[in-house]
Amino acid sequence: MNVLTATHFNFPGQTKVYKGKVRDVYTINDKYLVMIATDRISAFDVILPKGIPFKGQVLNQIAAKFLKATEDIVPNWLIASPDPVVSIGKMCKPFKVEMVIRGYLAGHAARTYNAGLRELCGVKLPEGLKENDKLPQPIITPTTKADEGHDEDISREEILKRNIVSKEHYVQLENYTRALYQRGCEIAEKQGLLLVDTKYEFGLFDGKVILMDEIHTPDSSRYFYKEGYEERQQKGEEQKQLSKEFVRRWLIENGFQGKEGQVIPEMSDAWTNEISERYIELFEKVAGEKFIKHASNDIAKRIEQNVTSALKSL
C-alpha cells in the first residue's frame, strides 16, 4: 500500500519547512502555510516506524469539515483544502500552549488518577471516580507546546505566572475551548458518539485569536460510542471507543511508553492495516459520510500538482 511518510517539496514562494510528528508544514511567502497530513503515526510523542494507509486523508478531511462547522464560534486559519491530505491557511503566531479539555476521566487523566493523584494541571478531581466516568463538568488541562520532546502538563496559574500567555488572551482561549467542545459534543451525539476529550491550538492573526491546526480528529480527540456507555460503566467493562488509544494500549502491552531504553515493538502489515480500518471507521462515524479512498501510485506528485495550482489563486 502506498503511504506518505516523508515529504520533500519545493513549492513556489517557499521560505520555510517545519516537520512535526505527523504534519509537514511549508511556509509560503511568510504569509501562508501549506499543511500536509502525512500517514505517520505517533504515540507517547514518538513517531512509530510504519505509516498507516489513508491516515493523513482521514485527519485532513475531518479537520477541514469541523473547521467549517465551528467558524461561527471562532475564526480559523483554513483557506482551502486542495488535496485530500493538504490544507492551506493563514500563517499565525501560535500560542505556546495546547488547550486540552476533558469531559470524562479517560486516557492520561485516568492514568494520573489511578496513580493516586487527585489534581491535574491545577484542577482538583473528586474522589470515587472510575476510569471513563463522566466528570461533574468538563475540565481544561493545558499542556506546554514543546518544539521537541514531550509536551508537559501545566496549570492555568503557571501559564499566567510565567507569562506564556497574557491573562486577556488566556481567558479567550478558555472560552473558545469550552464553546468548541460543546459544539463538538453536540455534533458527536447526533452521530451516536460521545466526545470524551480533545485539544485545540490557537494563534494570533492580525491581533485576533484564531483556531489553528486540526480539530476533533482521532489524533487530537477521543470518542466513545454512546449506545451501551452507561451499561459498560456499571459493569466495569471497557468502553467501545474510536481514537488512537488502542494504539497506545498495544504499545503499553508490548512494553513501550516512550521512555528511555524502551524499544518500539514491530508493526506487522496486518496491524497497520487494522489501524487504518479503525481510522476510516472513525471518519465515517464522526463525519457521518462514506470515506472515499484517494489512492494514488504517486501521492507526492498529486500533492505537488494540486498545491502548486492552488497557490496560484492566492
CATH number at 176 reads: 3.30.470.20
Q: Read out DSSP for 126-160?
A: -TT--TTPEEEEEEE--EE--SSS---B--HHHHH
* 232-238 contacts at long range (C-beta below 8 A, 24 or more positions apart): 233/130, 233/132, 233/133, 236/130
The count of structural domains within the chain is 1
Is residue 125 within 8 A of residue 118, CB to CB? The reply is: yes
Cell numbers standing for residue 146: 514543546
Structural domain includes residue 272: no
Distance, in Å, from the CA atom of 225 to the CA atom of 242, rounded to the nearest integer, reads 8
Distance, in Å, from the CA atom of 176 to the CA atom of 248, rounded to the nearest integer, reads 29
Structural domain includes residue 143: yes
Amino acid letter, 31: K
Q: Measured at the alpha carbon of residue 6, what is the angle toward residues 31 and 82, in degrees to the nearest 5?
A: 45
- pTM value is 0.88
Angle between helices 55-69 and 269-287 (to 10 degrees): 20
Q: For residue 174, list its beta bridge partners.
A: none
How many of the other CB atoms lie within 10 Å of CB of 106? 23
Name the DSSP class of 179.
H
Is residue 144 within 8 A of residue 96, CB to CB? The reply is: yes
Is residue 200 within 8 A of residue 177, CB to CB? The reply is: yes
Structural domain includes residue 204: yes
Q: What are phi and psi of 271, to 5 degrees?
A: -70, -45
Structural domain includes residue 24: no
Structural domain includes residue 119: yes
pLDDT by 10s per residue, the chain, length 314:
689 999 999 999 999 999 988 999 999 999 999 999 999 999 888 999 999 999 999 999 999 999 999 999 999 999 999 999 999 999 999 999 999 999 999 999 999 999 999 999 999 999 999 999 999 999 999 999 766 556 789 999 999 999 999 999 999 999 999 999 999 999 999 999 999 999 999 999 999 999 999 999 888 899 999 999 999 999 999 998 887 878 988 999 999 998 999 999 999 999 999 999 989 988 999 999 999 998 788 999 999 999 999 999 98
Do the bridges between strand 134-140 and strand 193-205 make them parallel or antiparallel, or are there none, so unpaired? unpaired
Cell numbers standing for residue 267: 508493526
Structural domain includes residue 158: yes
Is residue 239 within 8 A of residue 132, CB to CB? The reply is: yes
Q: What is the dihedral of CA 58, 61, 62, 65, to 10 degrees?
A: -170
Cell numbers standing for residue 100: 486540552
Angle between helices 55-69 and 167-190 (to 10 degrees): 110
Cell numbers standing for residue 128: 470515587
Structural domain includes residue 300: no
Distance, in Å, from the CA atom of 121 to the CA atom of 215, rounded to the nearest integer, reads 22
Distance, in Å, from the CA atom of 52 to the CA atom of 274, rounded to the nearest integer, reads 9
- The SS3 assignment for 287 reads helix
Distance, in Å, from the CA atom of 4 to the CA atom of 57, rounded to the nearest integer, reads 10
Domain that holds residue 195: 94-246
Rounded CA Rg of the chain: 19
